[in-house]
Structures are given as structure tokens and as C-alpha cells.
Amino acid sequence: MKYIVTLNGKNYEVEVENAQATLLSVTDVPAPPLAPVQSAAPAPAPAAAPAPAPQAQTQAAGEPVRAPMPGTIVSVKAVAGTAVKKGQVLMILEAMKMENEITAPRDGTVIQVLVTQGASVEANAVLAVLN
């Protein structure tokens, strides 16, 4: 099979057969066509920036408890209003087939939980907020 791969402004034509790749040719990518020049009409006034999309839940003021890695929330052990001690498990995060305990970084009260069981989270996402 022949493939054309574009990389760093060049087209590479490659043929792959029996798990072997052979470079057939290298060419420069043609420049894009120029846009037509418009008359000297005044440019429209810039529109106001759109407001950011509202999030499902916004973060309350306090110390955020963040996800150390991407994964899925398996269970939530603390709810808003719960007094917690340093090291107490707040929730379980599954990542790469391992269950990781997300613990309270200090004594305090959970003022907001921003995730639910089954939610997928990215690394550094705020999971809960302590006061």
C-alpha cells in the first residue's frame, strides 16, 4: 500500500509491504492559494467575546483536592458538610486498572464535591473543595 504523509512542510510518499516501509519520494507541500483581496470597506467592529460556557458545577472558595492522574471515580466516600481528618479517604479513583485513594490533604470540612461515581476525570481536575 502506498501512503502520503505530510510532515514539517514536506510530503513523504511511502510504500508499505510485508511490514517493510520504503520511502519513494519527498516533495515540498505547495503553498495555499492566496485569498482574494477585498475592497477597502471598513472592517466590522469586533464583537464582544462570548461568555464562557457554564460548567455543570463551579468550584467554591477553599482548598481544592485535585486528581493526581486521569481516571474514573469508582466511589465517593465524603459528601459536602463532612468533617475530615488529614489522610481520610474522600474518594477512590481508578486509573490503569488500579484503585487509588484520594485523601484529605489536611483536617477540615468538605464544602463541595465536584464529581460523582462513574465520572471520568483528567489529571489535575478539581474533585472536591475543603475549607
If one compares 118 and 16, the residue with the highest pLDDT of the two is 118
CA distance 25 to 31: 19
> For residue range 89-131, what is the model confidence (pLDDT) as tens digits?
999 999 999 999 999 999 999 999 999 999 999 999 999 999 9
More confident residue, 63 or 20: 63
Q: What is the pLDDT of residue 3?
A: 78
pLDDT of residue 36 exceeding 90: no
Confidence tier at 41 by pLDDT (50, 70, 90) = low
- C-alpha to C-alpha distances, 32 to 3, 22, 27, 29, 120, nearest whole angstrom: 21, 28, 15, 9, 40
Confidence band of 8 (pLDDT split at 50, 70, 90): confident
- Which stretches does DSSP call E strand in 1-131? 2-7, 10-17, 20-28, 63-66, 71-76, 83-84, 89-95, 98-103, 108-113, 120-121, 126-130
pLDDT number for residue 53: 39
pLDDT at residue 56, as a whole number: 45
Identify the structural domains of the chain with CATH numbers, from first to last. Answer: 1-30 (no CATH), 63-130 (2.40.50.100)
pLDDT tens readout for residues 51-104: 443 444 566 688 999 999 999 999 999 999 999 999 999 999 999 999 999 999
pTM greater than 0.75:
no
Spatial distance between the Cα atoms of 85 and 91, rounded to a whole number of angstroms: 14
Question: Which residues, other chains included, contact 11 with Cβ-Cβ below 8 Å and sequence gap of 6+?
Answer: 4, 5, 26, 27, 28, 29
pLDDT at 55: 43
CA distance 63 to 109: 10
Dihedral (Cα; 60, 65, 117, 120), 10-degree rounding: 100
